[in-house]
Amino acid sequence: MGLTEKVLWSMGLGIIAGLLINLGGFNTEGSFVNDYIVGGLFYVIGKMFITALKMLVVPLVFFSLISGVFGIGDLGKLGKVGIKSFALYMLTTSVAIAVSIGIALLVIPRFSSPSMQVSTFTAPEAPPLGDVLVNIIPGNVVEAFATGNMLQIIFFSILLGISLLMVGKKAESIAEGVEILNEAMMKMVTIIMATAPVAVFALLAKAISELGLDLLAQLAVYVTVVVAALLLHLLGTLMLLFRLFTKLNPLIFLQKMRDVQVFAFSTSSSNATIPVTLRSVTKRLGVDNSVASFTVPFGATINMDGTAIMQGVATVFIAHIYGVELGILGYLTVILMSVLASVGTAGVPGVGLIMLSMVFVQVGLPVEGIGLILGVDRLLDMLRTAVNVTGDAVVSTVVARSEDELDIGVYLDREAGSVEAPEIDEAVEEEFAEVVHRVEEKA
Ligand code: ASP
């Protein structure tokens, strides 16, 4: 069994285990299963896995971007990749939310407003939109790296790559070193990925066991519309765009994206999934690192199609319950605001709700209304994150194709880049040991 199959199995088993715990009523506080299995074992395994993925993000993005700048050949191309990917990210997000608002307006008003239990929701502090541009520049590089501020890291890494190019020949050894470190980071990604079958089980069993299933039933209309709009975007809009611009078979794309989607689904974080996305986009889809090293972390930060879809449906749903008519202008504001909000916020779990509260403030909807959908957001977050990362990969492939940076041979090879058990070549181990001995003897 390949890793993908193993992870899919563990995902299925995790969901079943979670449902058993949930339906069996074992998820009550104070019970052994809840405190020691779910809150103990599953929590620790899942958290270690996500933390390990996060550990890779910053160095991986740093090294791959610098080597991407070295590899691009002509710096004008970098500008083109930037503009194209930005435009496509904005386009896909706008279409996503517009379509989701359309579907929601068609479906939701047909259902009478249910009497709902409202969890309290206080609007978290939203980042001021005007600062988004200023904040791309890191005032303090160490802080940018320490806090994992993706746009700032991208900015600094590209600038450093360009500056090294300007230094010229003298920087050659650094270029080689960075290349090797980048390769090593990719190996580290495969090591962490190899632990996924266990981790994904733990993450899903925990998440599903904690779901409020009765709430899910109460919010069935909302959840169904979000899921339908997500599927439509994933299989319709995105695949259409992919086919139109790349002329390639989208089924191969979808098959190769399964790993990335499962990782995004289990972690609910586009950011933590960056290592897996970057690996799959380069090694499995054949996008050159000079494009992917930029488009993937950039997309994880500014592109959130799935999140925009949730916001569109949530706006219509809550407006309906509160009896507010938003009108065409109101919905246009919603589209504009949520696209802008996606630029300024990073892809981490639950950030969609923060963005939603920014949108609500703008269009004058009651922010506490978000409390209505809070209970099911955990599940929807998982689903929409899988759509978010798929969007990142679609745009990466489309941009690479247009820049002639897509290796069609790799794309068509169904086995290319599939993860095998990570191992070290014995001969290499011996070689290394010899080198170390020689150095020691000299000393
Ligand atoms: N969890 C999502 C992501 O990381 C963002 C969100 O919708 O909350 O892409």
In 117-147, which positions are buried (b, 16+ CB within 10 angstroms) versus exposed (e)? eeeebeeeebeeeeebeebeebeeeeebbee
Centre of ligand 1 from the C-alpha of residue 331, in Å: 22
CA–CA separation, 376 and 235 (whole Å)? 23
Ligand 1 atom closest to Cα of residue 306: 7
pLDDT tens digits in sequence order for the chain, 443 residues long: 788 889 999 999 999 999 999 999 888 888 888 889 999 999 999 999 999 999 999 999 999 999 899 888 788 889 999 999 999 999 999 999 999 999 999 999 888 665 555 666 665 555 566 677 788 899 999 999 999 999 899 999 999 999 999 999 999 999 999 999 999 999 999 999 999 999 999 999 999 998 878 888 888 999 999 999 999 999 999 999 999 999 999 999 999 999 999 999 999 999 999 999 999 999 999 999 999 999 999 999 999 999 999 999 999 999 998 888 888 999 999 999 889 888 877 888 989 998 899 889 888 898 888 988 988 999 999 999 999 999 999 999 999 999 999 999 999 998 888 877 677 888 888 888 888 888 888 88
| Residue listed under structure tokens 């099911």 | 376
Residue 120: per-residue pLDDT = 65
CATH of domain 3-420: 1.10.3860
Q: Is 297 in the pocket of ligand 1 (CB under 6 A)?
A: no
> For residue 287, what is the DSSP state?
B
Residue 375: per-residue pLDDT = 86
Residue 364: per-residue pLDDT = 87
CA–CA separation, 439 and 443 (whole Å)? 6
Centre of ligand 1 from the C-alpha of residue 304, in Å: 7
Residue 125: per-residue pLDDT = 58
Q: Which residues contact 420 (CB under 8 A, 6 or more apart)?
A: 2, 3, 190
Residue 343: per-residue pLDDT = 81
Is 391 in contact with 299 (CB distance < 8 Å)? Answer: yes
Ligand 1 atom closest to Cα of residue 269: 4
Q: Concatenate the DSSP letters of all residues of 383-415 into one string.
A: HHHHHHHHHHHHHHHHHHHHTT-B-HHHHH-TT
Centre of ligand 1 from the C-alpha of residue 96, in Å: 15
Ligand 1 atom closest to Cα of residue 346: 4
Q: Is 385 in the pocket of ligand 1 (CB under 6 A)?
A: yes
Residue 126: per-residue pLDDT = 54
Q: Is 277 in the pocket of ligand 1 (CB under 6 A)?
A: no
Centre of ligand 1 from the C-alpha of residue 180, in Å: 32
CA–CA separation, 247 and 92 (whole Å)? 18
Residue 118: per-residue pLDDT = 60
Q: Angle between the 258-267 and 374-402 helix axes, to the nearest 10 degrees?
A: 150
> For residue 114, what is the DSSP state?
P
Amino acid at 215: L
